Structure 1
């Protein structure tokens, strides 16, 4: 029996209360500094959830639940410098982006629409994120720190909690067959305020040995910003590779048996190290190429499916070799 998710309903309630504010305050760039006791309460509640959730994720990752100080004495487990620091190390949460997509939020400045709310969240004091500084301030001295209980800090704190909830849920979403677009993936993931950034890993340079290095173009910084990755599911990926290997095997056989190719290489031995495609084009052009290169198995692919996977920086596709894949 699976453990019930106690965090998502709390997050949704906080979202609901935040959205109520938009009925009374016009959420625009020049209103981000607006503050109140109600907002202060929401920031504290958000941050308490962040503390609890970060500790649970830390435990799930095998973090040390009984830390000690430099003298070897037991100390408290810190949600930021212990827990969020480990999550940062594993998942690069400081770079994960979300977009503010609520229809009644009217931000126009890009920095208020695209957020990285966990940036510096694992650090303390003035080096840490502003929402965390606001949390500590209003928790310990609400009267003199009320101005820090702003819409901006609440938006960032809620965004941080949203990201942590997505990682706690750890869901894979079936998108469907490849002829369907990624519009079938709802990157809001249940939120009415935010959308999670995602990238595509569906451009592949097929080869006999497949791994993440075959993703084309390389994801680079886009991977670091993404919370989800759109990819082929593993079964489809393995089937695509198997079909490529079978077609490649037929191509090699045709190439080696071709009298035109043999005659050409006899006259032009300098081409012997070139690729099959290059040799075919030089020896007989596109007509010869289409007779040699096989797509027999690849063209039969019908049930190739895509999915959205949570980005944990732990690999996207399985590593495949031609022998093990064809044997399957």
Structure 2
């Protein structure tokens, strides 16, 4: 999707990096403030307001909210729009890492950011950068100390994340067996890296869904903005190949006189897997003779992709193939 907000965000990035040419941006300098930084924070927040309202509309949010008296009121970018994004996508947990070479931060709390945490709250409960924005908007001179590098970085990080959701791009990473590409988690930024989680280790079964993803940490999944996964067509092809291999394996298993004799002599083995029975009945040689994986091995067009994490199912539910 064409993103008219992205060039504006990149201009703010460039101005921030220009500041870094004159100020050594390190942990001890995060409280440095200025009128120029105040201007950049306000510009960030204006963009956040606009993009959050568009995302709210895209999600089917009520564009004509009413107050407690039933009268139409203004649409609020924080409690209404960011509130819905939090409900649908869990944006308060999404993380970015400050990775610009021009920035010399060392403390983890300054490097790893969750800039949209509490962004849908108002008043003293809101995020620090949003409180700074409100103060600067209403009384810039007396609130200038809020215009810090720290608040600017946080507001840019928030805008960066919202831009990624607005673009909503899917990136093809290419064929798995010849893939020499890695996903660039900067996603076009010169300052931040987005958190990414991989969902490409699967436990293959006759029936498949997200429960078949192995080694995916649920907390990291909630924190990630991007997910690396198999394409839908690859996922279906992997499942089809597994099912065909399974049916041939099951046929070999049922026809094996060695296995049938063993099962007859060891009725308790019926509770065990085909793999376990093969090993017990004839060792690895029998296992290799029974098990089939030629369909899975012959597939060479498996592809992976990167999608934006919207807290939705990664993979569709698949039933066994007859």
TM bin (shorter chain)? over 0.9
Which residue in the other structure is 2:183 paired with? 185
Once the two structures are superposed, what CA deviation does each residue of 1:75-101 show, in whole Å capped at 9, x if it has no partner? Answer: 000000000000000000000000111
Which residue in the other structure is 1:235 paired with? 233
- 1:145 paired with 2:143, answer yes
Once the two structures are superposed, what CA deviation does each residue of 1:78-131 show, in whole Å capped at 9, x if it has no partner? Answer: 000000000000000000000111111000001111111001000001101000
State the alpha-carbon separation in 1 of the partners of residues 161 and 274 from structure 2: 48
- 1:9 paired with 2:7, answer yes
- Residue pair 2:177, 2:300 contacting (<8 A) in 1 also: no
Which residue in the other structure is 1:56 paired with? 54
State the alpha-carbon separation in 2 of the partners of residues 90 and 32 from structure 1: 32
Q: CA deviation at 1:181?
A: 6.0
The correspondence of residues 37-76 of structure 1 with structure 2, limited to 5 A, is 37-76=35-74
- 1:321 paired with 2:322, answer no
Match of 1:176 among 167, 174, 177: 174
State the alpha-carbon separation in 2 of the partners of residues 91 and 77 from structure 1: 20
Q: Secondary structure at the match of 1:176?
A: strand
Match of 1:155 among 153, 156, 159: 153
State the alpha-carbon separation in 2 of the partners of residues 59 and 199 from structure 1: 28
My pick for the range that moved more, 178-187 or 23-32, is: 178-187
Q: CA deviation at 1:219?
A: 3.1
Which residue in the other structure is 1:209 paired with? 207
State the alpha-carbon separation in 1 of the partners of residues 194 and 172 from structure 2: 16
State the alpha-carbon separation in 1 of the partners of residues 13 and 217 from structure 2: 32
State the alpha-carbon separation in 1 of the partners of residues 31 and 132 from structure 2: 12
Q: CA deviation at 1:180?
A: 5.3
- Residue pair 2:198, 2:216 contacting (<8 A) in 1 also: no
State the alpha-carbon separation in 2 of the partners of residues 153 and 98 from structure 1: 15
How many pairs were matched up?
322
Which residue in the other structure is 2:85 paired with? 87
Give the aligned CA root-mean-square deviation in angstroms.
Answer: 1.2
Q: CA deviation at 1:285?
A: 1.0
Q: TM-score, normalised by structure 2?
A: 0.98
Which residue in the other structure is 1:219 paired with? 217
Which residue in the other structure is 2:16 paired with? 18
- Residue pair 1:206, 1:214 contacting (<8 A) in 2 also: yes
- Residue pair 1:201, 1:219 contacting (<8 A) in 2 also: no
- Residue pair 2:95, 2:223 contacting (<8 A) in 1 also: yes
State the alpha-carbon separation in 2 of the partners of residues 291 and 242 from structure 1: 21
Which residue in the other structure is 1:269 paired with? 267
Runs of 4+ more than 6 Å apart: none
Q: CA deviation at 1:144?
A: 1.1
- Residue pair 2:197, 2:216 contacting (<8 A) in 1 also: no
